[in-house]
Amino acid sequence: MKKPVKLKFGSKGTKVKNANSYAQKEEPPGEEKCSLGLSSSLEENLGHLREIFAKSTDIIFRDFTIGRWGRLRAAVVYVDGLINITDVNENLLKAVMLEMPMAGNDQDLTKLDVLQKIKDSAFPLSQVKEATLIEQVVDAILSGDTAFLLDGYSTALLVGARGWETRSLDEPATESVVRGPREGFVETLRINTSLIRRKIKSSDLKIEMMKLGRATQTDIGIAYMENLATQELVSEVKKRLQQIDTDSILESGYLEEFIEDNPYSLFSQVNRTERPDKVAAGLLEGRIAILVDGTPFALIVPALFIEFLQASEDYYERYMISSFVRLLRYAAFMVSLLLPSLYIAITTFHQEMLPTDLLLSIAAQREGVPFPAFVEALLMEISFEALREAGIRLPRPIGQAVSIVGALVIGEASVSAGIVSPAMVIIVAVTGISSFIVPNYAMAISMRLLRFALMILAASLGLFGIMAGLIAIVIHLATLRSFGMPYLSPIVPTHPAAWKDTVIRTPWWTMLTRPPLIKKGNLHRQRPYTRRWPGQEQGGEANGRKNKN
pLDDT, the chain, mean: 83
Query: Where exactly are the structural domains of the chain?
Result: 42-159, 189-303, 327-486
**pTM beyond 0.95:** no
Measured CA to CA in angstroms, residue 26 lies from 95, 206, 240, 272, 339 at distances of 42, 28, 16, 30, 52
Structure confidence by residue, pLDDT tens digits, 299-337:
999 999 999 999 999 999 999 999 999 999 999 999 999
Q: What is the predicted pLDDT for the residue at 495? A: 81
Kindly tell me if the per-residue pLDDT of 1 is higher than 50: no
Element at 366 (helix H, strand E): none
Kindly tell me if the per-residue pLDDT of 21 is higher than 60: no
Contact residues for 533 (Cβ-Cβ < 8 A; gap 6+): none
The mean pLDDT of 254-266, rounded to a whole number, is: 94
Q: Are 163 and 87 in contact (CB under 8 A)?
A: yes
Q: What is the predicted pLDDT for the residue at 545? A: 44
Kindly tell me if the per-residue pLDDT of 35 is higher than 60: yes
In total, the chain counts a number of residues equal to 549
Structure confidence by residue, pLDDT tens digits, 375-429:
999 988 898 888 888 877 777 667 666 766 777 777 788 888 888 888 998 998 8
Q: What is the predicted pLDDT for the residue at 220? A: 95
- Mean pLDDT lowest for which of 24-28, 119-123, 188-192? 24-28
- Mean pLDDT lowest for which of 43-47, 70-74, 143-147? 70-74
Q: What is the CA radius of gyration of the chain?
A: 31
Which residue has better confidence, 79 or 93? 79
In degrees, rounded to 5, the angle at the alpha carbon of residue 315 between the alpha carbons of residues 167 and 224 is 60
**Strands of 288-292's sheet in order across:** 205-212, 218-225, 288-292, 298-301, 271-273
